[in-house]
Structure 1
Amino acid sequence: MSIPRGLSDEEAAAWAKLAASVTPMEGRVRPPVKQAEPLKPVPARPARPSPKPAPPRPAPPPAPQAMQHDSGLDGHWDRRIKSGAIQPDFTLDLHGFSLDAAYDRLMSGLDQALAMDARVVLLIAGRSRPVDPADRAAKRGAIRAKILDWLAASRHENAITAIRRAHIRHGGEGALYLVLKRRR
């Protein structure tokens, strides 16, 4: 708690002027205005020892992405994907479907691919385009815009090791490779 310091000469003069302009309520008397008291010296605070620097905070974790499934692939896989030497075991084409039908087809197609022990699924969904999140398939690119979210929230999320853009001969930007985990 701080000690009241009193009024400076300027503050006391302003307060006296204000108090003189006020009419007291009926039955009350204006209190006398005190003259400004000299300012009391404020006692100096003892010097604090300089605070120790806080230990550095650990860097925040990277922002979560829709899916992070790159840990299961080694350089061999990356070279095969980039060179186009990879052959999909199963192809799923979502062209011409509404959003609801595309979701159902994706889930049933992944069920089928897993039942067949497929390792690489070629998912054809068209090129990615900016789409309003509330779009219900009124614009092109709506299915592609939803795929990563669908996969991340699906029952198949743990079965997917990696998601990569397909080689140009398999559709390039309009398709994805879903690399599935091996069954044991």
Structure 2
Amino acid sequence: MKRPIRPDEQKLWAMVAATVHPKPGRDAERLAQALAEPAKAEAPKKSGGKVADPAARLALAEAKPAPRPPMRLEVDPIEPRRKHRITRERDVIGARIDLHGMDQARARAALEAFVLRAWDDGWRAVLVITGKGTRGDGVLRRRAPEWLGGPALRGVVAGISEAHRRHGGEGALYVALKRRPRG
């Protein structure tokens, strides 16, 4: 015997079903029926005594806009050979900055000033420690690549890559810097 679908599972299914679209030439009605079948299961009663209507919940989920795809970064990844040299410390990591405990505005200002100062000093690679966040989805971890690809640093940053485990792994980034023009 199948167990009834819990409300949190129903909500999750409705969100997934709202993102599915048929390929061109496929039968849209058949797809809609297939997606609606789990919604037909009887939902358990809520504490208030009201029975949640699965069809209404599905319609509400379909009305919400789909989440935006992640922003395309304007910074390329570091070339594999250069990343290998940085990882093995054959190319010196000139400086490090730790952004732990900073809010976004302060972290962005500190990161931009740090990268520009490192480039002025002639360093070719730096390490930016963002941390992972409490659940592995930290704001600074997500936003640092966007900031490094922004207009303020576009002429300085050659590429970025996730750091090796001994340098912080997922919670840190290698930032390769362009050469300073001679003169």
Q: What is the match of residue 69 of structure 1?
A: 76
- Tell whether 2:167 aligns with 1:162: no
Q: Where does structure 1 differ by over 6 angstroms across 4 or more consecutive aligned residues?
A: 128-131
Structure 1 unaligned residues grouped into runs of 5+? 1-62, 132-139
Could you say which structure has the larger radius of gyration? 1
Instruction: Assess if the C-alpha contact under 8 Å between 1:84 and 1:169 holds in 2.
Output: no
Secondary structure, aligned partner of 1:148: helix
TM-score by length of 2: 0.53
Cα shift at 1:86: 4.5
The change in CA–CA distance for 1:69 and 1:169 in structure 2 (over 3 A counts) is same
**Residue identity opposite 1:154 in structure 2:** P
Instruction: Assess if the C-alpha contact under 8 Å between 2:94 and 2:124 holds in 1.
Output: yes
The change in CA–CA distance for 1:84 and 1:165 in structure 2 (over 3 A counts) is farther
Number of aligned residue pairs: give it: 112
**Residue identity opposite 1:105 in structure 2:** A
**Which whole-Å deviations, capped at 9, do the CAs of 1:87-143 have from their partners, x for residues lacking one?**
310111101111111011111111211121111010000126789xxxxxxxx7111
The change in CA–CA distance for 1:79 and 1:153 in structure 2 (over 3 A counts) is closer
Q: What is the match of residue 178 of structure 1?
A: 175
TM-score by length of 1: 0.53
The within-5 A match list for 1:83-98 is: 83=88, 85-98=90-103
Q: What is the match of residue 108 of structure 2?
A: 103
- Tell whether 2:116 aligns with 1:119: no
- Identity of matched residues, %: 30
Q: C-alpha distance in 2, partners of 1:80/1:67?
A: 23
Normalized per residue, the structure richer in helix is: 2
Instruction: Assess if the C-alpha contact under 8 Å between 1:120 and 1:179 holds in 2.
Output: yes
**Residue identity opposite 1:183 in structure 2:** R
Cα shift at 1:82: 5.1
**Residue identity opposite 1:172 in structure 2:** G
**Residue identity opposite 2:165 in structure 1:** I
Q: C-alpha distance in 1, partners of 2:135/2:145?
A: 14
Cα shift at 1:151: 1.9
